Each structure stands twice: as structure tokens, then as C-alpha cells.
Structure 1
Amino acid sequence: MKGTGILAEINYELNGILEKKREQFVKLQRTEKSSQQLLTDLSHDVRTPLASLVGHLESLDSQTAKEKEEYIHVAYRKALDLQELIDMLFQWFKLASHEQLYQMKVYDINELTKEIIIEHIPVFEKKQISFLENIPEGEWFIKLDRVAYARIIYNLLSNAVKHGQCTLIKVEIQKNKDQVLIFISNNGIAIPNDKISLIFDRLYKCDAATSCKKKLRFDKGGCQNLLVK
């Protein structure tokens, strides 16, 4: 009986190890698939503004002075689009390779969050999105990297504006003992329940059947990495 108990225990441990390895393999497959999707999306998203930029520049010789001015303005906007894509790609690779360095300092989280939000007010007004904030007036000091924190808030707010199809965005900060809780919510289309566990995966985006737009985005994976670090 004693030998049987030992075998059962070994069998139980082996099953646990196998299950853990299966989970790791699934995660690895998901990462590899995301990386392949990255290359596909990057090729498409970079090619589009680049082709437009080249086309406008090639047409300059045959345009009038006024048309040239308009074409140069369009070409400049396309160049900015390219710059944004390249910057996002560079940031993602830095996060993925753990090369990101953080400057941890003490900040008033309430005041810092308000400063970040103020930058988005013109965007909310342009998109006719109402905004509510419930941020305490007192000073709550915590240690964080200002740039990383600003990027997290910026990405969440930008995603709500671009992809949330919402008319209201709310930011709230609460304190729970020694923790500070930050809530960012909107009244847009909810994420499907079966997709919630995936939203912080690198490069994950909703498929064509959902409300998300088909666009290359690194920010969600970036948010997870920034939060973990």
C-alpha cells in the first residue's frame, strides 16, 4: 500500500508538470502567432502612408504653386504617421527586450493624473465625448516612473477614444489601505467575455467580428509590461 501511495504521488506531480508545460506551450504558440501578425500588420501599415507620401512627392513637379502647398501639407502628415508607427515599434521592441530603463521618483499621483488628463480634454471635446473625473484633492505620494505612467494613462484613454465607440469616459482614483486604485472606464461597446483574458497580450487585437478597428497597436502589450515592471 505504501508503494501505491508513492506511485500515486509521483503520478500526481507528473500530471501537474505536464499541465504546466501545456500551458507554457500554448502561451508560446500565442506569442509566435502574435509576432507573425506583427510583421504582417507592420508591412501593411507602413506601406500605406509610405506609398501615399511617395505618390504626393512624385506629383509635385506637375502641380501649381497652390497645389504644391497642399501636397506638401499632406506629405508632411503622412510622414508624421510613419514616424508614429516607427516610434511605437521601437518602444515595443525596447519593452520586449527588457531594455527599458525606469526613473523611479516620488510623485503626487492625483496631481500627476490630472496633468495627463488635461492634455486629452481637446480630443474629448473634438470627438464630443463627455468626461468625468473623481480624483481626490489631497496629495497621495507614490513612487513611479513618470513617463511610463503617463504612457499607460495615455494609451488607455486613446484606446477608449479611438476604438471604444463611447460618449462618456470616466477616470477615478481611490485609496485602499496602502494601495492606490485607478479606474478608467467608458460607456462604449464592452469587450467580449471570452476576450478579456487576452486584451493585455502583446499585439492582441479584436478580430473583424468585433467592434475593434483593424489597426496595428502595441500599446496594450506595452501597458502590461509597464505595469509589471
Structure 2
Amino acid sequence: MELATIISIIIATLSVLIAWLIIRRVKRQIAEMTDALADVKNGNGNRHVLSATNELVASLAYEINDIIVSYENRLCTFSQTEETNKQLMTSISHDVRTPLTTLIGYLDAAHKGIVIGKDRDDYIETARRKAHDLKEYIDVLFDWFKLNSNEFSMEINTVEAAELTRDILIDWIPIFEDKQIDYSIDIPEQPFRVKLDIDGYMRILNNLIQNVVAHSHADKIELTLSKQNGNMKIILTDNGIGIKKEDLKHIFERLYKCDKGRSEKGSGLGLSIVHQLVEKMNGTITVESVQGKVTTFTLLFPLVG
């Protein structure tokens, strides 16, 4: 037999052997992929397919791993959402039922003549305040549900934000005066052109100011508007009880409440709504605080032109 023939036979044999080994390896990897997918289907999101970059099924293995990671992330998000919804339902049950029961109690006492004269007037006034608090709480819940629904949309247009900010703050001045809160508002006469959803921007400022009025126990509030590095910068400062250092990093989380001194009432959703709305308008919000001295919220929105 000629040498060339022998070499050809050896090469053919090696080729068959290599092909068989490759097929065997591919079959084993496909079996591993099948097992991995079965595990994922049964809820094990930690299962991954191992493959070297030079193997035939490498791209398929990496794609499956990406799908598994995506699946696990979605499952984690779903679990977090489910837990959040449970917490929210518990919060609603307590935060709505308690003031509603008290409200009914005051109104029943006034209606049945259990209290008369000035006491009756005081009961009715207390019931009125609690009714407004309850409406405010329900409004926040409605905003949160709407913001986190698939139907939520924003109408973002270029607006003149300085005048819009003045219009929002005008409605707060009587409240500041009624609660004896000194206020300082510094908004330049120059225009600030910013892409905003008007309703969302109003909700941002109203939620932040309401947070100060309701929870900070401040007697002074300051708001300044300026331009900085191509952004509209809003600084809201109060001299209230402040926020603990360990609470600052959680302050924009859903349902998060600080100590009772600052969170004796409220849904724990107001600042979360603010944070989401700011991000949806391509802005940023940060907070700094020194307990017993000062709390400062800083917002940045990109200027147009």
C-alpha cells in the first residue's frame, strides 16, 4: 500500500474520530442545555450552561445563559413587586381604616348630640381636617398606581419653567402663613426653557413642599431656582428635624418611612413618586440633611437651547 494512501486513511480516520468527538461533545452540551432549561422551568434560576468560546455551541450556550439571567431578573422583579403590593395593601388597610374610623366617630358624636356648643364645632373642624388628610393620602395612592401602570404616559414639551414654578408656589404662600412658616423664594426674572410634563412637574414640587410642611416641623423654608452647567437647578431647604444618615439612602424607596418624628402620618410613597417623575423627565434629585438643622433637596433638569 502506498504511503499516500496510508496517510489518507489515517487522516480520514482521524477526521472521523474528531467529528465523532465533536458530535459527542455537542450532544452532551445539548443535553446539559435541556437539563438547564428544565431546571429554569421548575424555578431554578441559578443554573447556567458552561461552554468555551471556541466550541460550536458557544453562541447558543451564551444566548441561553442570557435568557436565564433575564428570566431570573424578571422573576426577582415580580417577587419584589408582589411583596411591595402586599406591604401597600397592609399600609392602605391601616392608613385608611384608622382615620376613617376616627372621622366617623367625630361626626357621629356631633350628629347624635353627644357634644354640643363649642365642643361640637371643634369635633366638626377636627373631622374636616381628617377628611382632607384622607383625601390627600388617597390622591398620593392614585398617583402612585397611575405612575406604575402600563397606561401611564407623559406629555413632555418645552415650557418656561420659571413662571410655572412661581404659579405653583403662589398657592403655597397662604399655607405657609397659616402654619407660621417663614418662606424665601428666589426665582430670577430670566426665562428657563426646560422639557417638562407640566402636571408631573407640579406634582414634584407639591410633593416635596408637602413633605416639608407635614413632616419636617420646620418654621423656615427656602426655594431657589438658578442655572448651572446647562441645567435648571432647584434647591429646596428647610430647617426642620432633618433625616437620619441611615435613612438618606432609602428616602426615595417605595413605602419607606423614617422615624416616627418625621413619618407619623403619610403613605411613604410621596418621595418615591417624586423620584420616578424626575427620572422620567431626564432630571436628577438628591438630598442632604443634618439632623436638627437642615434638609436640602436638589433637582437638576436639562435646559433647552
TM-score range, shorter chain: 0.7 to 0.9
Residue 134 of structure 1 corresponds to 186
Provide the C-alpha distance between the structure 2 equivalents of 1:125 and 1:29, rounded to a whole number of angstroms. 45
Report % sequence identity.
38
Residue 39 of structure 1 corresponds to 89
Mapping for residues 28-107 of structure 1, pairs under 5 Å: 34-59=84-109, 60-62=111-113, 75-107=127-159
Provide the C-alpha distance between the structure 1 equivalents of 2:74 and 2:276, rounded to a whole number of angstroms. 18
Provide the C-alpha distance between the structure 2 equivalents of 1:27 and 1:187, rounded to a whole number of angstroms. 37
Distance 1:37 1:189, change over 3 A: same
Provide the C-alpha distance between the structure 1 equivalents of 2:152 and 2:141, rounded to a whole number of angstroms. 13
Provide the C-alpha distance between the structure 2 equivalents of 1:124 and 1:155, rounded to a whole number of angstroms. 15
Give the conservation status (yes or no) of the 8 Å contact 2:225–2:232: yes
- The offset of 1:188, in angstroms, is 2.0
Find out whether 1:221 has 2:269 as its counterpart.
no
Give the conservation status (yes or no) of the 8 Å contact 1:88–1:218: yes
| SS of residue in 1 equivalent to 2:263 | coil
Give the conservation status (yes or no) of the 8 Å contact 1:56–1:72: yes
- The offset of 1:23, in angstroms, is 10
- The offset of 1:93, in angstroms, is 0.9
- The offset of 1:115, in angstroms, is 1.3
Amino acid in structure 2 at the alignment position of 1:126: D
Listed as ranges, the gaps of 5+ residues in structure 1 are: 1-21
Distance 1:23 1:99, change over 3 A: closer
Give the conservation status (yes or no) of the 8 Å contact 1:108–1:142: yes
| 1:150-188 CA distance string (max 9 Å, x none) | 110111111112212222211111212322111111122
Amino acid in structure 1 at the alignment position of 2:166: K
Q: CA RMSD in A?
A: 3.6
Distance 1:130 1:110, change over 3 A: same
Provide the C-alpha distance between the structure 2 equivalents of 1:154 and 1:218, rounded to a whole number of angstroms. 13
Provide the C-alpha distance between the structure 1 equivalents of 2:125 and 2:178, rounded to a whole number of angstroms. 21
| SS of residue in 2 equivalent to 1:138 | coil
Give the conservation status (yes or no) of the 8 Å contact 1:34–1:204: no
Listed as ranges, the gaps of 5+ residues in structure 2 are: 1-71, 281-305
TM-score (norm 1): 0.76
Mapping for residues 4-15 of structure 1, pairs under 5 Å: none
Q: Which has the larger radius of gyration?
A: 2
- The offset of 1:26, in angstroms, is 9.1
TM-score (norm 2): 0.59
Residue 171 of structure 1 corresponds to 223
Residue 6 of structure 1 corresponds to none
Give the conservation status (yes or no) of the 8 Å contact 2:254–2:268: no
> How many aligned positions are there?
224
